[in-house]
Amino acid sequence: MTALSLQSGLPASFLRKETKSHGTCRYAEGPELKGETPLLLEDVVSTGGAIIAEARMLREDEVTVDRVLVVLDRETGGEETLARRRHRNDQSVSAV
């Protein structure tokens, strides 16, 4: 993610599963996302649950989430879960 951001010049934010109780006390580190439409980048997807949870947190903060880029799909239902939630998976590499 950091390398993509540095190479492209596009900003990157890093999401946590839950808000930290120390430091910045945020679940997203990086530029403000409110009002933005970011591309979610996920390294490995099994069920899609983590992406669904991240999207829910972002939407609560008025961030539009409609696209996901998955690097490795373990082919255990994640892509179907995202499709049902109307998250377009732009590209993925299936598990081998």
Listing DSSP states for the chain in one string gives: -HHHHHHH-----EE-SS--SSTT--SEESS--TT--PEEEEEEESSSHHHHHHHHHHHHTT----EEEEEEE-SSSHHHHHHHTT-EE---EE--
pLDDT surpasses 70 at 36: yes
Task: Tell me what the pLDDT averaged over the chain comes to.
Answer: 79
pLDDT of residue 67: 81
Query: Which secondary-structure segment (H or E) carries 84?
Result: helix 78-84
User: What's the pTM value of the predicted model, to 2 decimals?
Assistant: 0.71
pLDDT confidence band for 86 (50 / 70 / 90)? low
How far is Cα 79 from Cα 60, in angstroms, rounded to an integer?
23
pLDDT in tens, 50-72: 888 888 888 898 998 888 888 88
pLDDT of residue 88: 54
Cβ within 8 Å of residue 84, ≥6 positions away = none
pLDDT confidence band for 87 (50 / 70 / 90)? low
pLDDT surpasses 50 at 93: no
Cβ–Cβ under 8 Å, residues 29 and 14:
yes
pLDDT of residue 54: 87
pLDDT of residue 89: 52
